[in-house]
């Protein structure tokens, strides 16, 4: 189980066959007589609530504080409405595409057999937890992933295209990638290690974010005439909620209340703390002042980076993950904004995309027992695993980028993307939503 | 009568108020304002990116004083609000045409 993360529970019923049985004899045997485990179920119910809390209100506040006062409501609205839309689509079709058996196409995509949760009653199990709980837990990941992309386009996008992009993106990017890696698809078959979503969540969101930011264009005044974030305090509050919620995200991805979940929580926490200190120190040395926005950004980088590795590396590995996350993501923020001059406004690609991929690639080495990790799958070497991780990364990056471009073109043709100059200057809160946050 | 308007650094407000009280100023009005002078604002750094903040927060004092006190008020503000650093602010003095105390209807210097 530990070698496969949460794909394992599902891979067994889907891929039930000699190959899987040989790799994981104990799990395969357990499946035959699976009964519901109350302890595991209780933890995943809890973890589900924690992960939803990451988006509502954690991520919403984190992003909301970073924009100007005239746009905070639009950002909160983006996160909230995406959460609702993703939930409905998850029930209608996306869960089925990601996690049901796709028959002959199962390597690539799931089927429609579980659309509207057809045939899934209270007694249905995934592994040893109820399928309804598994459905809800996975749903909270499908909620936060398109919500992460909100950071790419705030302060200048119209509202309708946000909904259209997010909905289509869930179907055409999130569902297939989740299926490849966690739903028993081809990358799961190759043995890609992505415990809690370095590729499925952070790489997909990061790549699509930078594509969308580029196609949408920069905010007026970028990069030299922009106003600073209007409420670093809200950003810190949101970031702190993300940290707490991330316990559910990573430790919940063990899909069990066990030692794997416990260790995932340990390394998650240590990576977050270390990356925060790293980012703070870089700013302190470079600019003479350690900033609050900086330290909490380092925290998110540390969490995104440890996410794919959280069930595989040890505490010492987590320290290294934290330091590298802080340094590499800090560098990436500057490179995207100042060298590429792309207004990925709240640094979704630099923090989530770069962090997620960094964590995916490093896990090949830091999972080794020699480096304090919990070991690779039987028959795997670090080099071979690295090849698999790299292949997975390239596949996910290319798929996310290509389909994002297609989706954005479609949305542009139907609804347009960009708010008018007047609306942008007035602020999206009033121009798009008819409300304002601060009435003095 | 004169109207003395002083734009000063916010952290100097208490010190200036006490000093003005000591020389007999009976009241003043304070507003939080923003602006720029020769300094042309300042920069703030978030996530390694510099943001130009073109208007810097200041405090504006408005003090209506009798002619005889004007010079001392100006001198007191200049001394106490001075930190010897850029951005210490400005003092403006204007003629004041009339003053009325609303409660009693007193006018002129006795209304101050």
Please give the residue range of the domain that contains residue B69.
Answer: 2-111
Please answer yes or no on whether B45 and A337 come within 8 Å at the CB atom: no
| pLDDT recorded at residue A33 | 59
Show the CA angle centred on residue A223, arms to residues A328 and A146, nearest 5°: 60
| pLDDT recorded at residue B55 | 87
On whether the CB atoms of residues B97 and B15 are closer than 8 A, the answer is: no
Q: How far apart are CA A281 and CA A326, in angstroms?
A: 10
Residues in chain A with CB shorter than 8 Å from the CB of B51 are 226-228
- For residue A74 the two structure tokens come to 């639009």
For residue range A399-430, list pLDDT tens digits in order: 999 999 999 999 999 999 999 999 999 999 99
| Residue B47 forms contact with A (CB below 8 Å) | yes
- For residue A82 the two structure tokens come to 């995406």
pLDDT at A15 over 50: no
On whether the CB atoms of residues A432 and A159 are closer than 8 A, the answer is: yes
Distance from CA of A292 to the nearest CA of B (A): 9
When pLDDT is cut at 50, 70 and 90, the band that residue A10 belongs to is: low
Residues in chain B with CB shorter than 8 Å from the CB of A349 are none
| pLDDT recorded at residue B100 | 96
How would you class A372 by CB atoms within 10 Å of its CB: exposed for 0-12, middle for 13-18, buried for 19 or more? middle
| pLDDT recorded at residue A29 | 44
- Phi, psi of A420, rounded to the nearest 5 degrees: -65, 165
| Residue A229 forms contact with B (CB below 8 Å) | yes
CA-CA distances (angstroms) from residue B22 to A42, A89, B73, B77, B82?
69, 71, 10, 12, 18
| pLDDT recorded at residue A7 | 53
Where are chain A's structural domains? 36-433
On whether the CB atoms of residues A47 and A411 are closer than 8 A, the answer is: no
Percentage of residues in chain A having pLDDT higher than 90: 90
| Residue A288 forms contact with B (CB below 8 Å) | no
For residue B23, what is the domain's CATH number?
3.30.70.120
Q: Per mean pLDDT, which range of A7-16, A191-200, A318-327, A365-374 is the poorest? A: A7-16
Please answer yes or no on whether A286 and B48 come within 8 Å at the CB atom: yes
For A105, which DSSP code?
Answer: G
How would you class B22 by CB atoms within 10 Å of its CB: exposed for 0-12, middle for 13-18, buried for 19 or more? exposed
State how far Cα A278 lies from the chain centre: 22
Residues in chain B with CB shorter than 8 Å from the CB of A226 are 51
Please tell me the total count of domains within chain B: 1
| pLDDT recorded at residue A1 | 35
For residue range A242-252, list pLDDT tens digits in order: 999 999 999 99
Q: Which of A225, A283, A294 sits opposite B52 (nearest CB)?
A: A225
Q: How far apart are CA A92 and CA A125, in angstroms?
A: 20
CATH 1.10.3430.10 fits A36-433, yes or no: yes
Find tokens 């891979």 and name the residue.
A11
Distance from CA of B32 to the nearest CA of A (A): 14
Residues in chain B with CB shorter than 8 Å from the CB of A287 are 45, 48
Residues in chain A with CB shorter than 8 Å from the CB of B44 are 228
pLDDT at A4 over 60: no
How many CB pairs below 8 A link A and B? 36
Cα nearest neighbour of B43 on chain A? A228
CA-CA distances (angstroms) from residue A36 to A42, A82, A128, A129?
11, 32, 5, 5
On whether the CB atoms of residues A235 and A62 are closer than 8 A, the answer is: yes
| pLDDT recorded at residue A2 | 38
On whether the CB atoms of residues A407 and A165 are closer than 8 A, the answer is: yes
For residue range A30-42, list pLDDT tens digits in order: 445 589 999 999 9
Mean pLDDT over A157-165 rounds to 98
Please answer yes or no on whether A283 and B45 come within 8 Å at the CB atom: yes
| pLDDT recorded at residue A226 | 83
Please answer yes or no on whether A225 and B46 come within 8 Å at the CB atom: no
Number of neighbouring beta carbons within 10 Å of residue B64: 19
Q: How far apart are CA A191 and CA B37, in angstroms?
A: 63
DSSP symbols for A221-276:
TTTTSPPPPS-HHHHHHHHHHHHHHHIIIIIGGGSSSSHHHHHHHHHHHHHHHHHH
Cα nearest neighbour of B48 on chain A? A334
Mean pLDDT over A200-208 rounds to 98
On whether the CB atoms of residues B46 and A284 are closer than 8 A, the answer is: no
| Residue B38 forms contact with A (CB below 8 Å) | no
For residue range A264-316, list pLDDT tens digits in order: 999 999 999 999 999 999 999 999 999 999 999 999 999 999 999 999 999 99
| pLDDT recorded at residue A160 | 98
- For residue A356 the two structure tokens come to 């997620």
Total count of residues recorded for chain B: 112
Find tokens 């209270």 and name the residue.
A122
Q: How far apart are CA B25 and CA A168, in angstroms?
A: 68
For the question of an ipTM over 0.85, the answer is: no
| pLDDT recorded at residue A6 | 60
Q: How far apart are CA A385 and CA A55, in angstroms?
A: 32
| pLDDT recorded at residue A14 | 41
Please answer yes or no on whether A287 and B49 come within 8 Å at the CB atom: no
Mean pLDDT of chain A: 93
Predicted TM-score (pTM) of the model is 0.87
Mean pLDDT over A351-361 rounds to 98
């Amino acid at each position: 189980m530990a070698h496969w993360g949460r794909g394992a529970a599902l891979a067994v019923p889907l891929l039930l066959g000699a190959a899987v049985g040989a790799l994981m004899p104990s799990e395969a045997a357990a499946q035959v007589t699976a009964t519901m485990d109350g302890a595991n179920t209780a933890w995943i119910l809890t973890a589900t609530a924690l992960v939803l809390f990451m988006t509502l209100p954690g991520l919403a506040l984190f992003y909301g504080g970073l924009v100007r006062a005239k746009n905070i409501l639009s950002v909160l609205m983006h996160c909230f409405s995406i959460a609702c839309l993703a939930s409905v689509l998850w029930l209608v079709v996306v869960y089925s595409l990601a996690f049901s058996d796709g028959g002959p196409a199962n390597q690539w995509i799931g089927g429609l057999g579980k659309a509207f949760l057809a045939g899934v009653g209270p007694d249905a199990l995934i592994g040893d937890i109820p399928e309804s709980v598994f459905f809800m837990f996975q749903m909270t990941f499908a909620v936060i992933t398109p919500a992460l992309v909100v950071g790419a386009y705030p302060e200048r996008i119209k509202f309708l295209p946000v909904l259209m992009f997010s909905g289509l993106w869930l179907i055409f990017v999130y569902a297939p990638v989740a299926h490849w890696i966690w739903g028993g698809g081809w990358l799961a078959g190759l043995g890609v290690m992505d415990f809690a979503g370095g590729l499925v969540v952070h790489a997909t969101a990061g790549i699509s974010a930078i594509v969308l930011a580029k196609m949408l264009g920069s905010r007026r005044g970028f990069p030299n005439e922009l106003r600073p974030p209007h409420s670093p305090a809200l950003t810190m509050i949101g970031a702190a909620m993300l940290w707490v919620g991330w316990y559910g995200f990573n430790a919940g991805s063990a899909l069990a209340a066990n030692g794997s979940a416990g260790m995932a929580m340990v390394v998650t926490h240590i990576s977050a703390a270390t990356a925060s200190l790293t980012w703070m120190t870089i700013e302190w040395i470079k600019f003479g002042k350690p900033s609050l926005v900086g330290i909490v950004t380092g925290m998110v980088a540390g969490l995104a980076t440890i996410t794919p590795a959280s069930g595989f590396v040890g505490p010492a590995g987590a320290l290294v993950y934290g330091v590298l996350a802080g340094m590499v993501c800090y560098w990436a923020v500057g490179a995207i904004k100042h060298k590429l001059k792309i207004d990925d406004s709240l640094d979704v690609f630099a923090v989530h995309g770069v962090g997620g991929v960094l964590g995916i690639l490093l896990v090949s080495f830091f999972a080794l027992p020699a480096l304090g990790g919990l070991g690779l799958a039987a028959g795997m070497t670090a080099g071979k695993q690295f090849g698999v991780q790299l292949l997975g990364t390239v596949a996910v990056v290319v798929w996310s980028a290509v389909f994002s471009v297609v989706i954005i073109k479609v949305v542009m043709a139907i609804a347009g993307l960009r708010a008018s100059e007047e609306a942008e200057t007035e602020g999206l809160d009033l121009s798009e939503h008819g409300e304002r946050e601060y009435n003095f | 009568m004169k109207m003395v308007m002083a734009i000063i650094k916010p952290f100097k407000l208490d010190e200036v108020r006490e000093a003005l009280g000591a020389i007999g100023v009976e009241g003043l009005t304070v507003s939080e304002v923003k602006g720029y002078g020769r300094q042309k604002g300042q920069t703030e750094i978030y996530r390694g990116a510099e943001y130009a903040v073109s208007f810097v927060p200041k405090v504006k004092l408005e003090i209506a004083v009798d002619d005889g006190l004007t010079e001392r008020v100006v001198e007191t503000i200049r001394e106490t609000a001075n930190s010897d650093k850029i951005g210490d602010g400005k003092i403006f003095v204007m003629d004041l045409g009339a003053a009325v105390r609303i409660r009693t209807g007193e006018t002129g210097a006795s209304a101050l």
